[in-house]
């Protein structure tokens, strides 16, 4: 369970000097920390988060996988997008859950540097990866319920759409799902017990109790809201911990010191360099032609 690693504290992102520091990483992931980008390359990237360019660039640089936000259309297609209103980040308007995929499949994402970055479905993203089963995909499910909408009906639609999509690509062991709603997570668990469920929460004690009661895989928490002792407590209960909200070099380093099982970062390049795993020069290179 324990593994001593030589971790290099890196100063800067392009030309880095190495100052060796020794850590003992104690977690449930065999002493390794899974390195995931936030929405791909993160919010500071030249690419918009959740764009296929950002997601693939993250993976191509050596990450274990990536976090991505998903929503479901009225006709059960998973769409990779964060905000509720399409107008806030794309050329289209409306709310994904109220639309069919055919209504929005030609939407483009807003970008100051690039044109024609397409809004994509989870299917399209997976189909463009040569070896999707080599990675882990954390799906942050945006399961917002509309006004007057029955949450149980909506959760069942979302959960069934998600499980069917995951099974279509045989990715049961490659997908994590994180969400703050116990009912939604249990809908997924009922349909497929192999998908690893993370309760998204800011109160550690309450979160751990929920995870134990419902036999979820682990907790997802903002990295400043969880300390090393709490993470040790989760591990003693055989529950994994993902830390998110990591952005700066210092925050990456501080998150590593807490020995979580997984880190979601807006600075994936720096996190990979800490573990000497950064693959230089590999970014997005697939055609976006539909």
DSSP per-residue string spanning 211-259:
HHHHT-SEEEEEGGG--HHHHHHHHHTT-EEEEEEE-SHHHHHHHHHT-
Nearest one of 206, 209, 79, 77 to 139, comparing CA atoms: 79
Q: Residue 35: beta bridge partners?
A: 263
CB 199 within 8 A of CB 210: yes
CB 23 within 8 A of CB 257: yes
User: In this predicted model, what pLDDT tens digit does every residue of 79-100 receive, in sequence order?
Assistant: 999 999 999 999 999 999 999 9
For residue 151, tell me if it sits in a domain: yes
Query: How many whole angstroms separate alpha carbon 36 and alpha carbon 262?
Result: 7
Query: How many whole angstroms separate alpha carbon 257 and alpha carbon 69?
Result: 27
Widest CA span in the chain:
57
User: In this predicted model, what pLDDT tens digit does every residue of 8-49 receive, in sequence order?
Assistant: 333 343 334 344 355 789 999 999 999 999 999 999 999 999
User: In this predicted model, what pLDDT tens digit does every residue of 111-132 receive, in sequence order?
Assistant: 999 989 999 999 999 999 999 9
What's the pLDDT at 24? Answer: 86
For residue 122, tell me if it sits in a domain: yes
What's the pLDDT at 283? Answer: 60
For residue 43, tell me if it sits in a domain: yes
- Work out whether strand 117-118 and strand 218-222 pair parallel, antiparallel, or are unpaired: unpaired
For residue 225, tell me if it sits in a domain: yes
Strands (E), the chain: 2-11, 17-26, 34-38, 65-72, 78-80, 108-109, 117-118, 136-141, 175-179, 196-200, 218-222, 240-246, 262-265
For residue 286, tell me if it sits in a domain: no
Q: What's the domain count of the chain?
A: 1
CB 263 within 8 A of CB 27: no
CB 234 within 8 A of CB 221: no
Query: How many whole angstroms separate alpha carbon 41 and alpha carbon 49?
Result: 7
Query: How many whole angstroms separate alpha carbon 207 and alpha carbon 222?
Result: 12
What's the pLDDT at 146? Answer: 81
CB 104 within 8 A of CB 119: yes
Query: How many whole angstroms separate alpha carbon 37 and alpha carbon 137?
Result: 10
Query: How many whole angstroms separate alpha carbon 205 and alpha carbon 197?
Result: 17
CA–chain centroid gap for 152, Å, is 24
For residue 268, tell me if it sits in a domain: yes
**Residue span of the structural domain in which 138 resides:** 32-274
Band of pLDDT at residue 248, cut at 50, 70 and 90 = very high
User: Model's pTM, two decimal places?
Assistant: 0.90
Indicate if the pLDDT at residue 7 is higher than 90: no
Query: How many whole angstroms separate alpha carbon 283 and alpha carbon 106?
Result: 24
For residue 15, tell me if it sits in a domain: no
For residue 280, tell me if it sits in a domain: no
Percent of the chain with pLDDT over 70: 89
CATH number (domain holding residue 130): 3.20.20.190
């Amino acid at each position: 369970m324990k593994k001593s690693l030589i971790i290099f504290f890196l100063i800067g992102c392009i030309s880095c000097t190495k100052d060796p520091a020794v850590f003992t990483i104690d977690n449930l992931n065999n002493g390794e920390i899974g390195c995931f980008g936030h929405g791909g390359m993160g919010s500071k990237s030249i690419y918009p988060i959740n764009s296929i360019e950002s997601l693939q660039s993250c993976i191509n640089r050596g990450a274990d996988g990536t976090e991505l936000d998903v929503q479901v259309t009225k006709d059960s297609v998973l769409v990779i997008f964060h905000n509720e209103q399409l107008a806030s980040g794309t050329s289209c308007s409306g709310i994904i859950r109220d639309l069919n995929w055919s209504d929005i499949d030609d939407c483009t994402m807003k970008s100051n540097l690039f044109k024609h970055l397409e809004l994509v479905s989870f299917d399209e993203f997976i189909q463009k990866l040569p070896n999707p089963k080599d990675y882990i995909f954390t799906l942050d499910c945006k399961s917002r319920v509309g006004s007057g909408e029955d949450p149980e009906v909506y959760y069942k639609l979302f959960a069934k759409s998600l499980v069917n999509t995951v099974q279509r690509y045989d990715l049961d062991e490659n997908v994590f799902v994180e969400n703050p709603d116990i009912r939604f997570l249990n809908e997924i668990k009922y349909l497929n017990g192999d998908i690893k469920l993370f309760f998204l929460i800011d109160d550690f004690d309450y979160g751990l109790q929920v995870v134990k009661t419902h036999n979820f895989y682990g907790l997802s928490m903002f990295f400043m809201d969880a300390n090393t002792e709490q993470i040790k407590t989760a591990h003693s209960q055989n529950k994994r911990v993902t830390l998110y909200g990591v952005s700066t070099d210092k925050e990456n380093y501080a998150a590593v010191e807490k020995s979580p099982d997984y880190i979601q970062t807006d600075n994936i390049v720096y996190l990979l360099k800490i573990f000497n795993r950064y693959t230089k020069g590999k970014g997005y290179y697939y055609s976006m032609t539909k």
